[in-house]
Structure 1
């Protein structure tokens, strides 16, 4: 797949809330995920697809409801792309989060996402 095809597929799956499918289909086994900051719940850097998928499950288990989610069209370069993701969620502890992240991705020579990084 080209970077453009990967970007469009990731956006399509994220808009449908199919994050696990996106990870299994599009991410390299040795991919890295970088958060804007570490927290008690998440490390700043997560290495490997299995660990990234586990992080996603942990996030999902913390969310009570997704009130709104929007993903922008991707902006694509030769081996990287970016999009914004706006999420309005209610956490299980009843805390309300309304946030927009800039999500950046790098695609390796094998046509898989090798890294993702999020900025607030």
Structure 2
């Protein structure tokens, strides 16, 4: 897949909130996920597809209600792309909040090898 095809497919799947499907279909086995900073819930860096999938499941388990989810169209370069993810969620601890972040992805050989989030 081209970077554009990966980007379009990721956006389509993520708009439904199915992180696991996107990760299984589009991520490399050695992919890396980078958060803005370490938190009690998540390390700054998560390495490997299995660990990234578990991270997504952990996030889902922390959500009480997903009120809405939106993802912008991707801005695509030859080996990377970026989108804005906007979620209105009620967390089990912490209440309702709007989570808006810039998501930047690097692609190699038709697979996502790195994701990095900026708030």
1:9 aligned residue: 9
What's the Cα RMSD here?
A: 0.8
TM-score, with length taken from structure 1: 0.97
Question: Please, which runs of 5 or more residues in structure 1 have no aligned partner?
Answer: none
Matches within 5 A, 1:54-65: 54-65=54-65
Is the 2:16–2:69 contact (alpha carbons within 8 Å) kept by the matching residues of 1?
no
| Cα distance between partner residues in 1 of 2:113 and 2:90 | 30
Distance 1:58 1:17 in 2: 14
TM-score (norm 2): 0.97
Q: Which secondary structure state, in structure 1, belongs to the residue aligned with residue 86 of structure 2?
A: strand
Residue matched to 1:95: 95
Could you say which residue in structure 2 is the equivalent of 1:44?
A: 44
- Residues 10-59 of structure 1: per-residue CA shift (max 9 Å, x gap): 00000111211100000000000000111001000000000000000000
TM superposition outliers: structure 1 runs of 4+ over 2 Å: none
Gaps of 5+ in 2: none
